[in-house]
Amino acid sequence: MARSWTRLHEHLGAAPGPLDFSMIRQAAGDTLEESDDLDWKEQLPQPPRDGRWNELAKDVAAMANTRGGLLIFGVRDKTCELLGIDPEQANIQQYHQWIRNHVQPYLPDITFTILTSPDDETSVLVCDVPASPMAPHHVYGAAQKDKDQQAAVVPYRDKDHTAWMAEHQIERAYRDRFTRTEHAEEEVQRLLDRTRDTVFTQQTEPSAWFLAVARPERPLPRTAPRLTRDEARLLLHTTRTRTQSAHRPAVAPLTGLQIVSDNPRPGLRRWVLQTLTLGMGRGIYAELHHDGTTVLAANLSWKALRGQALVEAPEGSLLVHRDFTRACCENFTALCLELARRAGTDSALHLTAAIASSTLSAPLTPVVSEYGGTFLSIPDYARRLHRIQPVIAVLPPTSSDTALDEATHDLFTDLMNQFGLDPQL
């Protein structure tokens, strides 16, 4: 998927979204200089000759190894003159083949797009290269002095040109790859820990909570436009309407947030909604981050703690309402996908959900609904656990309803299976 926030968006002050021909024309007309994330190319990619490196593979790998960028074919690099290309001569399938053959590890997210002027007179080819979490990428080819000798180099962008990494730079690039993975995991855990601390400090009685975080693989940069309050209101309303069901036995968390959803409060580069301080109803907490991150937390024990039709509740247990847990998973996946679409997130969403206890001394005990939610019961075979392992799922930002349902099902099933419950039964 092409990125929704590029150097051209930043230069033109455009909102996140797909590039169009008018943006290319305006940036070229402004003589926007080349940089480490923008390379104007006069001609379409050419096959390698005389044992030289594949130039397209080298340029793509260089940007993937740096911070991503755009290769735009049909614009003269020095003057930014918009010359155009012959779209019939653009062989996108072959370009992908060259990259597959000459770059390792494989780069799956490269996109080629032909953009044409409204009068159909001028076209350009845009190659969008995201920064790769698997950098460094090596370019393989025949050495120029000895065509039979295969060699590999690691290119990178240095301002407006491509250079080769030295040994110490390659070593650092590998360290950075592992650090990125660790940082992403640490950031999710930090958000879960902070959310847990926030909701637990507001509790006057022991409780079990649903906690969930969705992080884009490539969070939007700080230079991207912030989500406005009106946009936050609209996406909450849209998500709540889309997930409402007259047949759901438990009121969903977004329905519980409706009382405050018209007035999201500002946080640190995010909007915050919560019912923790209202002193009434179920505690619910949500964050909509400007970089595409979503946080949702809800008290799973609240209704069950009030003993509604529950017979012989185990003393000292924290009751986890299964139907409400399902509603939390449904609302969470729908909310993070809607935020991704509104904010212009252009990478996969990594979802993490957990059930946390405000006290480790009391076991978590699942409560299920029977007879359409009229009666609550605790299955004899259910496990009563003191800890629940976090569960994960992945959701593309352009997911269909089927993919959304699958992610919801995965989260809910993995949580319930730890209690020994099968949601299918």
Q: Give pLDDT, residue 15.
A: 86
- Both tokens of residue 228? 């406005």
Per-residue pLDDT tens digits for 90-122: 999 999 999 998 999 999 889 999 999 999 999
141 vs 391, residue with greater confidence: 391
User: Which of 349, 416, 362, 407 minimizes the C-alpha distance to 389?
Assistant: 416
Mean pLDDT to the nearest integer, 385-393: 93
Which residues contact residue 355 at a Cβ distance below 8 angstroms, ignoring those fewer than 6 apart? 208, 209, 210, 211, 300, 320, 325, 364, 388, 415
Mean pLDDT to the nearest integer, 260-272: 94
Q: Give pLDDT, residue 332.
A: 97
CATH architecture assignment, domain 7-165: 2-Layer Sandwich (3.30)
251 vs 351, residue with greater confidence: 351
Q: What percent of the chain is modeled with pLDDT above 70? A: 90
User: For 356, what's the count of Cα atoms within 13 Å in the CB-facing half-sphere?
Assistant: 21
237 vs 372, residue with greater confidence: 237
Instruction: Please determine, for residue 410, whether its predicted confidence score (pLDDT) is greater than 80.
Output: yes
Q: Using H for helix, E for strand and C for coil, what is the string for the chain?
A: CCCCCCHHHHHHCCCCCCCCHHHHHHHHHCCCCCECCEEEECCCCCCCCCCCCCHHHHHHHHHHHCCEEEEEECECCCCCCECCCCHHHCCHHHHHHHHHHHEECCCCCCEEEEEECCCCCCEEEEEEEECCCCCCCEEEEECCCCCCCEEEECEEEECCEEEECCHHHHHHHHHHHHHHHHHHHHHHHHHHHHHHHHHHCCCCCCCEEEEEEEEECCCCCCCCCCCCHHHHHHHHHHHHHHHCCCCCCCCCHHHHHHHCCCCCEEECCEEEEECCCCCCCCCEEEEEECCCCEEEEEECCHHHHCCCCECCCCCCCEEEEHHHHHHHHHHHHHHHHHHHHHHCCCCCEEEEEEEEECCCCCCEEEEEEECCCCEEECCCCCCCECCCCCEEEEECCCCCHHHHHHHHHHHHHHHHHCCCCCCCC
Per-residue pLDDT tens digits for 113-171: 999 999 999 999 999 999 998 999 999 876 555 555 567 889 999 988 899 999 999 99
- Both tokens of residue 97? 């083949």
Q: Give pLDDT, residue 305.
A: 47
Query: What single letter denotes the amino acid at residue 236?
Result: L
Mean pLDDT to the nearest integer, 369-397: 82
Instruction: Please determine, for residue 220, whether its predicted confidence score (pLDDT) is greater than 90.
Output: no
Q: Give pLDDT, residue 296.
A: 98
User: Which of 224, 294, 291 minimizes the C-alpha distance to 5?
Assistant: 224
Q: Give pLDDT, residue 312.
A: 58
Mean pLDDT of the chain: 88
* Domain layout of the chain by residue ranges: 7-165, 179-417
- Both tokens of residue 421? 């419950």
Q: Give pLDDT, residue 313.
A: 58
